[in-house]
Structure 1
Amino acid sequence: MKFKADRATLLRALAHIQSVAEKRNTIPILANVLLSAEDGLLRLTATDMEIAVVENIAAETARPGATTAPAAVLYDIVRKLPDGSVVELDHAGTDAPLTLRAGKYATSLNVLPVDDFPSMVAGDLPFAFTIAASVLRGLIDRTRFAISTEETRYYLNGIYLHVADLETGPMLRAVATDGHRLARVEADVPVGAEGMPGVIIPRKTIHELRKLLDEGSTDIEVNVSDTRIQFRCGPILLTSKLIDGTFPEYERVIPKGNDRILRVGKRDFADAVGRVAAISQERSRPVKLSVMPNLLTLSAVSPDQGMAKEELDENSVAYDAAPIEIGFQARYLNDITDQIETEVEFAFADNAAPTLVRDTNTPSALYVLMPMRV
């Protein structure tokens, strides 16, 4: 195999690929990228056996063939080459190393046999639809912060994507929860997605997909089965296994009768939470909200550092229900307010029940937050 490729084009592809390749594992080939050159095209493939990413780029092919090379090392080398470089990769075959040249720079990398590189076959993916990259990006951005990292509850380690049948018609929903907070976001159902099964897309897949959605593709082709999901973003194909588990009946934890409504400016509220929470370095330290008509007082206490308090008045607060004091973890408040544009709406029942949070400008997004004792 021998080919030449533009450094910027190769670097961009390696950036997508190298984060999927497993750097620390007991199977060395999973740390490598598969390079296949033929007919003016270079195909790069990486997998960790759960996700596979394939990308095609233009390359001047002098000798077709394939080999594998350490993904992270190759990425780091190409990243440090001068802008505008033309990168030549040459592999003579069998046990020969992979030689890389760019200008006056040259290096060689040890390779592993192509036959050892695993193939992650997607199989039959009966449900196919196209969704705007901006819509998919919105579904991910407004929910991924709530994905659980607790491995024992593996069925919460992803985003639950499904079609919900509502009285107003079907909607595509993305839901994530870690048991402390829940995020649910809706979008119109794309043509072809109506009968798709509910699937749990793993956290790592969401992370890799989100990066690809910033690459300029306007429409994303999605193919789904009970066990696999595939996304085509321009020249990049991402295939992933799905989490084999049952997502909880999340509707049960969404409160229905919360009637104490607080509306507060997002920027004023977020800034006040940050200033009050700064008194304590403990991530789980609660911030207490003391709410009364058109007045919100935020406070936090640290046994070691002291206490902090800030008031927000009618200039940014609207509330006309009975007074309430309720506490939330500061980080959880920040995670939710980061998704909101201008005004936050809290719907309380009492200081021990789940609180409903909405963005007044985005009715398709809904959040649930469990309170803490204060």
Structure 2
Amino acid sequence: MEFRIDSGVLTEAVAWAARVLPARSPVPVLGGLLLEAADGRLRVSGLDYEASARIEVDADTLLDGRALVLGRRLLDICKVLPHGPVACAIDGARLSVTGGEARFGLSLLPLDDYPAPPALPALRGEVDAAAFAAAVGHVAVAAGRDDALPVLTGIRLALDGTTMTLAATDRYRYAVRTLEWKPEGTPEAGASGTGPGAEAPVEPADVVVPARRLTEIARSLAGAGPVRLALDGGSIGFESAGMRTTTRLLDGRLPKHDKLFTLGEHAVAVTERAPLVEAVKRVAVVAEGDSPVQLAFDGTTVHLQAGYEDDVASQRLPASLTGAESMTVAFNPGYLLDALGSFEAPGLRLRLLGPGQRALITDGETGSHRHLLMSVKPLV
């Protein structure tokens, strides 16, 4: 194998594929990246038992071939290569990497021991990469971190018609985001669509994807334009612009959110998002541990307060309140900031039941993004 490629292109390709490599593995070859050069293309692939990634880029292939090398070591080398062309070739039992006057040699791993990459599941449709990345970011903040409850460390991905629903919860908060997508069979939905006038197949899906993996995938594909989504009973895959990645699904289902988000009679507070975020950050500096930040709405303003006894902080902001003359609620400051920071709209609506009860924060424009929090006991 022998090829030449721009150092920047090689670095980006290696970094993209190396995302899925395990930090530690009892199987040494799973720490490797597979390089395949042929027909003017370089393919870089990585995998572990949970996920896989593959990317193809243009290269000047002088001799077709394959090589398996330690992925993180190759990435470290790529990061320090001089800008400009890079020559890579198998030299005995090593892969030589030469850029400018710098030359590196990497030991080859046994190709025969490397497992075959998983196949891409059945194509289901496509979604805009930027919109999908934003939506995943909106809900990922509510995903659990406790591996003892693995399903709560995931993001629910549900497909129903042309609506995709993403949701996450750690039992203390629940974030839901909806967006449009194009099921396979609708006009312009992937290369294998049946053309204009075709009807979307009625095949709803409801799966749970590891939040960390899905967040990494969404971020890495954010600038890719349309992304094809593939799905079966055990894995989910994404493909776009020479990039392909898969990850296993989590077993189980997240708790239903429909009843939780139905509040009944409630008050509605409306305020600007950015000033509220800054105010919460400001007063929370005196909140020790999980002590709450209190929001007292009086109809025209909201009074934020945190701290006890000598160390206190407060700030007042404009805010409207309907459905009640006044309302005081309090929240864990970390949870509140996570929720507020996940929104992008300039204005927010807070639907409030009262102290110690549910509070639903929604996008002030479309309502496609909803974040449920439990309020706590207000400050005395």
Is TM > 0.5 for Structure 1 vs Structure 2? yes
Deviation per CA, 1:99-146, whole angstroms, max 9, x where unpaired? 1111211111122111222223236x3452011223312321221111
Q: Which of the residues 169, 175, 178 maps onto 1:177? A: 169
2-side partners of 1:120 and 1:285: how far apart? 48
Partner residue in 2 for 1:353: 357
Partner residue in 2 for 1:75: 75
Partner residue in 2 for 1:319: 321
Deviation per CA, 1:234-253, whole angstroms, max 9, x where unpaired? 11001111112222222232
Q: Residue 284 of structure 2 contacts residue 306 of structure 2 at CA under 8 Å; is this kept in 1?
A: yes
Q: Which of the residues 294, 311, 328 maps onto 1:288? A: 294
Residue 161 of structure 1: SS of its match in structure 2? strand
Displacement of 1:302 after TM fit?
A: 5.2
Partner residue in 1 for 2:113: 116
Aligned in 2, Cα 1:353/1:35: closer, same or farther, shift over 3 Å? Answer: same
Aligned in 2, Cα 1:67/1:351: closer, same or farther, shift over 3 Å? Answer: same
Task: Confirm whether residue 210 of structure 1 aligns to residue 218 of structure 2.
Answer: yes
Residue 198 of structure 1: SS of its match in structure 2? strand
Q: Which of the residues 259, 264, 268 maps onto 1:257? A: 264
More displaced stretch, 135-144 vs 178-187: 135-144
Residue 350 of structure 1: SS of its match in structure 2? coil
Deviation per CA, 1:181-218, whole angstroms, max 9, x where unpaired? 1111112352337414211111232122122223x321
- Matched letter for residue 206 of structure 2: G
Displacement of 1:301 after TM fit?
A: 1.0
2-side partners of 1:342 and 1:369: how far apart? 20
Task: State how 1:143-292 maps to structure 2 within 5 Å.
Answer: 143-164=139-160, 171-192=163-184, 194-214=202-222, 216-280=223-287, 282=289, 284-292=290-298
Residue 351 of structure 1: SS of its match in structure 2? coil
Partner residue in 2 for 1:47: 47
Task: State how 1:54-69 maps to structure 2 within 5 Å.
Answer: 54-69=54-69
- Matched letter for residue 109 of structure 1: L
Task: State how 1:334-349 maps to structure 2 within 5 Å.
Answer: 334-338=337-341, 339-349=343-353
Residue 21 of structure 2: SS of its match in structure 1? coil
Partner residue in 2 for 1:330: 333
- Tell me the TM-score normalised to structure 1 length: 0.90
2-side partners of 1:50 and 1:29: how far apart? 15
Deviation per CA, 1:298-329, whole angstroms, max 9, x where unpaired? 111157x71111112xxx31114132222111
- Tell me the TM-score normalised to structure 2 length: 0.89
Deviation per CA, 1:262-309, whole angstroms, max 9, x where unpaired? 111111111110100011353x33111122221211111157x71111
Residue 255 of structure 2: SS of its match in structure 1? coil
Q: Residue 125 of structure 2 contacts residue 181 of structure 2 at CA under 8 Å; is this kept in 1?
A: no
Q: Residue 196 of structure 1 contacts residue 224 of structure 1 at CA under 8 Å; is this kept in 2?
A: no
1-side partners of 2:247 and 2:6: how far apart? 29
Q: Residue 20 of structure 1 contacts residue 52 of structure 1 at CA under 8 Å; is this kept in 2?
A: yes
Deviation per CA, 1:139-174, whole angstroms, max 9, x where unpaired? 21221111111111111212111135xxxx863211
2-side partners of 1:171 and 1:129: how far apart? 11
2-side partners of 1:271 and 1:228: how far apart? 40
- Matched letter for residue 134 of structure 1: A
- Structure 2: segments with no counterpart, 5+ residues: 185-200
Superposition CA RMSD, Å: 1.9
Q: Residue 197 of structure 1 contacts residue 225 of structure 1 at CA under 8 Å; is this kept in 2?
A: no
2-side partners of 1:191 and 1:356: how far apart? 30
Q: Residue 258 of structure 1 contacts residue 356 of structure 1 at CA under 8 Å; is this kept in 2?
A: no
- Matched letter for residue 190 of structure 1: K
Q: Residue 50 of structure 2 contacts residue 247 of structure 2 at CA under 8 Å; is this kept in 1?
A: yes
Residue 159 of structure 1: SS of its match in structure 2? strand
1-side partners of 2:216 and 2:16: how far apart? 8
Number of residue equivalences: 360
- Matched letter for residue 2 of structure 1: E
Q: Residue 287 of structure 2 contacts residue 293 of structure 2 at CA under 8 Å; is this kept in 1?
A: no
Q: Residue 255 of structure 1 contacts residue 354 of structure 1 at CA under 8 Å; is this kept in 2?
A: no
Residue 168 of structure 2: SS of its match in structure 1? strand
2-side partners of 1:131 and 1:170: how far apart? 10
- Matched letter for residue 112 of structure 1: L
Q: Residue 124 of structure 2 contacts residue 231 of structure 2 at CA under 8 Å; is this kept in 1?
A: yes
1-side partners of 2:207 and 2:145: how far apart? 18
Displacement of 1:27 after TM fit?
A: 2.0
Partner residue in 2 for 1:29: 29
State the percentage of identical aligned residues: 24
Partner residue in 2 for 1:298: 304
2-side partners of 1:142 and 1:292: how far apart? 29
